A = this chain, B = another copy of it.
Amino acid sequence: MNFCSHCGNSVHIAIPEGDNRPRHICDGCGTIHYQNPRIIAGCLPVYEDKVLLCRRAIEPRLGYWTLPAGFMENGESTEQAALRETYEEAFAEVKIESLYTVTSILHVNQVQMFYLARMDKPEYAISSESLEVELFSEDDIPWDELAFQTIRNALKLYFADRQTGLYPLRHISLDASDTQKFRTECHDSSAAD
- The chain A residues found within 8 Å of chain B, CB to CB, are 1-8, 10-11, 18, 21, 33-39, 71-80, 98-99, 102, 104, 106-107, 109, 111, 128, 169, 171, 173
Question: CA A107 – CA B75 in complex, angstroms?
Answer: 6
Question: CA A171 – CA B98 in complex, angstroms?
Answer: 10
Known: A171-B77, A171-B79. A2 touches B2 (CB 8 A): no
Contact: A71 with B36, CB < 8 Å?
Answer: yes
Question: CA A107 – CA B74 in complex, angstroms?
Answer: 8
Contacting A39 at CB < 8 Å: which of B35, B39, B79? B39
Question: CA A6 – CA B3 in complex, angstroms?
Answer: 6
Least CB distance from A5 to B in Å reads 5
Instruction: Find chain B residues with CB under 8 A from A10 CB.
Output: 8
Question: CA A4 – CA B2 in complex, angstroms?
Answer: 9
Question: CA A72 – CA B37 in complex, angstroms?
Answer: 7
Instruction: Find chain B residues with CB under 8 A from A33 CB.
Output: 5
- Sampled A-B contacts (26; CB under 8 Å): A1-B6, A2-B6, A2-B8, A3-B3, A3-B6, A3-B7, A5-B33, A8-B10, A21-B73, A34-B71, A35-B74, A36-B38, A37-B38, A37-B39, A37-B72, A37-B73, A74-B109, A77-B106, A77-B171, A77-B173, A80-B104, A99-B99, A99-B102, A99-B169, A99-B171, A169-B169
Question: CA A72 – CA B173 in complex, angstroms?
Answer: 14
- With A3-B6, A3-B8 given, name 6 new contacts (CB 8 A): A18-B128, A72-B111, A75-B106, A78-B104, A79-B171, A99-B171
Question: CA A53 – CA B77 in complex, angstroms?
Answer: 27
Least CB distance from A104 to B in Å reads 3
- A103 nearest in chain B by CB position: B77
Question: CA A66 – CA B11 in complex, angstroms?
Answer: 33
